[in-house]
Structure 1
Amino acid sequence: MTKVVIITGASRGIGAATALLAAKQGYAICVNYQKDKASANKIVNTIQATGSKAIAVAADVSKEIDVKHLFKITENDLGPISGLVNNAGVLDQQTKFENMSVERWQRIFNINVIGSMLCAREAIIRMSTQHGGQGGAIVNVSSAASFIGGANEYVDYAASKGAIDSLTIGLAKEVAAEGIRVNAVRPGLINTDIHASGGEPGRVDRLKEAIPIKRGGTTEEVANAIMWLLSDQASYCTGSFIELAGGRR
């Protein structure tokens, strides 16, 4: 039976790279996106051209009704869900903590934390052996910011990723006996356009000398780690983290 995975925020960056790699490994993929339909459809078309199954589903992961719709459509079109990659995430303009608004904090936590929690809950309901499921795997995309802290730039984003770390540990313990593994990756400075969202497209180049490896990471490097954690090769791995930060601490 073909394994089915939902990848949130998969129209670009790490999510898109993971979707393309999952297709190569024989998965059927739901490419979730919020607004960029054209990019999501491009990923789907690329996957379908290789003979693999893929669909694009619009959903704001911070909204419960959207998340339920996302899972329902995926099940109807692709079959029982066996994997979830909680990748959708946002940050805001670089600034000191004292300048941040409540509205900014709410947006970041609603998408980065509540969104991951909503998706994880829907995945567990379907995959848990206690509910008649066949088990599965959840991979949360955290960040090296969770332990670096994001001072003077993204303390709120870092705090949201710290919450993802706690979610990973707690859920892993809670659902391990139900056939579900929960792990996370912690990417560091990766070459994606998320840095432009924070107002500094060249941030990786500015900071690369502070990375022991002396370069930023690629989305494909992160995707490789995500797909290993999803795979049966990681069958004894739960509640664990793979750091992809080039040695930066």
Structure 2
Amino acid sequence: MAEKLILVTGGGRGIGAACALLAAERGYTVCINYHSDAGAAAAVVAAIESAGASALAIQADVSNEAEVLRMFGQIDERFGRFDALINNAGVLAPQMRVEQMDAARINRILATNVTGSFLCAREAVRRMSTRHGGGGGAIVNISSRAAVLGSPGEYVDYAASKAALDALTTGLAKEVAQEQIRVNGVRPGLIHTRMHASGGEPGRVGRLQSSVPMGRGGEAAEVARAALWLLSAEASYTTGSFIDVSGGR
């Protein structure tokens, strides 16, 4: 039997890269979607291939419907199967209060974090659903504890986008539950990744880790392990659920 095929959006670095590496270790053929950092994606592919697994990097802006269709078309042509999706691609803007935000910023955040996740989930369902002749599968949406906490004074727009992703997780899980597709979410807390720099504060985890009951920031690999568990047969009766990987925060 051919290896299962997984797509990890935003898979070139941070949590996405950790998910891609662990998925390969667990026996998946891995498609790594990236937006602009071809070098980072190529490095993840190289690491996977050096370990004896298969990977392919595909550039696409997930907020652009035509590019999402092109990406899934490439997957169809190359592999002819689709088994799992990790919706990880997400963007963050510099910290500010809501009263300072303009529409362009808000729409940019929502376009990638919400619309992009919807589009990729749609295409995954079209391929995996037993209604369409698929063999089933699983989706994991990488949300954030910000969806619950709100990120006041920093990025309420990002938090709102992740709350929307949680609603997608809940609704889609119920929609496709009888089509052999499970949909779950992982909500990371303060994780050591480069994403904080895009919010204007590279040292954010260090500043806030004292507010975490466990007293430290998390690692991307810790988030990846939760995501891969939700994709696995061990989570066969779990759908519409969330795992908070946040040290108790």
TM-score range, shorter chain: over 0.9
Q: Percent identity?
A: 57
For the aligned residues, what is the CA RMSD? 0.6
Mapped to 2, the partners of 1:126 and 1:231 lie a distance apart of: 18
Alpha-carbon contact 1:145-1:161 (below 8 Å) kept: yes
Alpha-carbon contact 1:28-1:78 (below 8 Å) kept: no
Gaps of 5+ in 1: none
Letter in 1 for 2:212: I
**Aligned match of 2:114:** 113
**Aligned match of 2:12:** 11
SS of the equivalent of 1:62 reads coil
Gaps of 5+ in 2: none
Mapped to 1, the partners of 2:76 and 2:187 lie a distance apart of: 29
Alpha-carbon contact 1:4-1:79 (below 8 Å) kept: no
Structure 1: 4+ residue segments shifted above 6 A: none
Q: Which moved more, 1:44-53 or 1:105-114?
A: 44-53
The yes-or-no answer on 1:141 pairing with 2:169 is no
SS of the equivalent of 2:201 reads coil
Mapped to 2, the partners of 1:161 and 1:208 lie a distance apart of: 21
Mapped to 2, the partners of 1:246 and 1:100 lie a distance apart of: 30
The yes-or-no answer on 1:159 pairing with 2:160 is yes
Mapped to 2, the partners of 1:240 and 1:76 lie a distance apart of: 32
Aligned length: 248
**Aligned match of 1:244:** 245
> 1:46, CA displacement in angstroms?
1.0
Mapped to 2, the partners of 1:131 and 1:24 lie a distance apart of: 29
Mapped to 1, the partners of 2:231 and 2:71 lie a distance apart of: 20
Mapped to 2, the partners of 1:18 and 1:58 lie a distance apart of: 17
**Aligned match of 1:70:** 71
Mapped to 1, the partners of 2:162 and 2:147 lie a distance apart of: 5
The yes-or-no answer on 1:34 pairing with 2:35 is yes
TM-score by length of structure 1 reads: 0.99
**Aligned match of 2:199:** 198
SS of the equivalent of 2:16 reads helix
Q: Deviations over 1:17-52 (max 9, x none)?
A: 010001111100000000000110111011111121
> 1:75, CA displacement in angstroms?
2.2
Q: Deviations over 1:33-91 (max 9, x none)?
A: 00000110111011111121100000000011111111111222233010000000001
Letter in 1 for 2:10: G
TM-score by length of structure 2 reads: 0.99
Letter in 2 for 1:189: L
> 1:167, CA displacement in angstroms?
0.4
Letter in 1 for 2:176: V
Mapped to 1, the partners of 2:215 and 2:51 lie a distance apart of: 35
SS of the equivalent of 1:84 reads strand
Mapped to 1, the partners of 2:73 and 2:139 lie a distance apart of: 17
The yes-or-no answer on 1:211 pairing with 2:230 is no
Query: Which runs of structure 2 are paired with 1:123-138 in the superposition (5 Å)?
Result: 123-138=124-139
